[in-house]
Amino acid sequence: MVTLYPRTEAFPGLEDTGIDEFLVRFRRESTFLIYVGVLLGTFLFHWSTLLTVYIPLPAFMLPAGLREKHASRVLGSRIYLLRQAVFLVKLVAGMCWGADARVREKLGLPPQPADPGTWRQS
């Protein structure tokens, strides 16, 4: 996920936006199907390098530059289900990254308070 949203001069990277805590929360709060979908997308991302950069190593073992090249190619893959599965990972990672106050500030948006997660109980 960090490969998808790296730190740049303009923006904080995903690793700066609390992705670890986000994923713990995501695992707890999401539905089984969504979580399995993200796991599957992550698995396919790591084990499809042979199709993209022609190297028989999982993506997490690739150097950063090559891993980004792989990420770009896998999201542009002609295999629809492969790119859709990785797209789901990108979507979920984007939920964390795009909601970060520093990212929003750079985009001219105010910070968001925490989602209350409450409902009417009586």
**Which residues of this chain interact with other proteins, rule CB under 8 A?**
3-6, 8, 10-11, 29-31, 33-34, 37, 68, 71-72, 75-76, 80, 84, 87, 90-91, 93-99, 103-104, 106-109, 112-122
Tokens of 117: 């997660």
For other proteins, which is the closer residue by CB, 34 or 55?
Answer: 34
User: Smallest distance, Å, CB 101 to other proteins?
Assistant: 11
User: Smallest distance, Å, CB 113 to other proteins?
Assistant: 6
Say if CB 38 and CB 88 are below 8 A apart: yes
Q: How many residues does the chain have?
A: 122
Q: What is the 3-state secondary structure (H, E, C) of 21-66?
A: HHHHHHHHHCCHHHHHHHHHHHHHHHCCHHHHCCCCCCHHHCCHHH
User: Smallest distance, Å, CB 55 to other proteins?
Assistant: 17
For other proteins, which is the closer residue by CB, 56 or 122?
Answer: 122
User: Smallest distance, Å, CB 50 to other proteins?
Assistant: 19
Report the alpha-carbon distance of residue 73 to residue 45 in Å, rounded: 10
For other proteins, which is the closer residue by CB, 56 or 117?
Answer: 117
Amino acid at 102: R
